Amino acid sequence: VKCRKCGEPAAVNMRQHRFALCGEHFLEWFIAQTERVIEKYRMFARQDRLLVAVSGGKDSLALWDVLLRLGYEVEGLYIDLGIDDEAYSKQSRKHVEQFAAAAGDAPYRVLDVKATYGKSVPELALEKRGRKVCSLCGLVKRHVMNRLAYEGEYVAVATGHNLDDEAAVLFQNTLHWQTGYLARQAPVLPSTVPRLARKVKPFFRFYERDTAAYAVLRGIDYIYEECPYSKGATTIFYKELLNQLETRSRGAKQQFYLSFLQAREEQGLFGEETQELELSECQNCGQPTTASGLCAFCRLWEDR
Task: Write out the residues near ligand SF4 by the rule CB under 6 A.
Answer: 133-134, 137-138, 227, 229-230
Report phi then psi at 189, rounded to 5.
-110, 110
Regarding 217 and contact with Zn ion (CB under 5 A), the answer is: no
Binding partner of residue 229 among ligand SF4, Zn ion, none, CB cut-off 5 to 8 Å per kind: ligand SF4
- Burial of 156-195, coded b for 16+ CB within 10 Å and e otherwise, reads bbbbbbbbbbbbbbbbbbeeeeeeebbbebbbbbebeeeb
Could you tell me which residues are beta bridge partners of residue 256? none
Closer residue to ligand SF4, CB minimum distance, 138 or 268: 138
**Closest distance to ligand SF4 from the beta carbon of 55 (Å):** 7
CA distances from 304 to 130, 220, 290 (A): 15, 42, 22
Regarding 5 and contact with Zn ion (CB under 5 A), the answer is: yes
**Closest distance to ligand SF4 from the beta carbon of 173 (Å):** 17
Binding partner of residue 143 among ligand SF4, Zn ion, none, CB cut-off 5 to 8 Å per kind: none
**Closest distance to ligand SF4 from the beta carbon of 78 (Å):** 12
Q: How many residues bind Zn ion (CB under 5 A)?
A: 10
Task: Report the 10 Å Cβ neighbour count for 48.
Answer: 14
Of 27, 7, 5, 8, give the one whose Cα is nearest residue 217: 27
What whole-number distance in Å separates Cα of residue 180 and Cα of residue 165? 18
**Closest distance to ligand SF4 from the beta carbon of 81 (Å):** 6
**Closest distance to Zn ion from the beta carbon of 116 (Å):** 14
- Please report, as a single letter, which amino acid is at residue 123: E
Contact pick of 1, 2, 6, 45 for Zn ion (by CB under 5 A):
6
Q: Which of residues 15-34 bind Zn ion (CB under 5 A)?
A: 22, 25
Of 241, 274, 272, give the one whose Cα is nearest residue 172: 241
What whole-number distance in Å separates Cα of residue 276 and Cα of residue 192? 8
Closer residue to ligand SF4, CB minimum distance, 212 or 227: 227
What whole-number distance in Å separates Cα of residue 182 and Cα of residue 178? 6
What whole-number distance in Å separates Cα of residue 31 and Cα of residue 45? 16
Closer residue to ligand SF4, CB minimum distance, 40 or 131: 131
Q: Which of residues 253-282 bind Zn ion (CB under 5 A)?
A: 282
Task: Please report, as ranges, the residues that interact with Zn ion according to CB under 5 A.
Answer: 3, 5-6, 22, 25, 282, 284-285, 295, 298
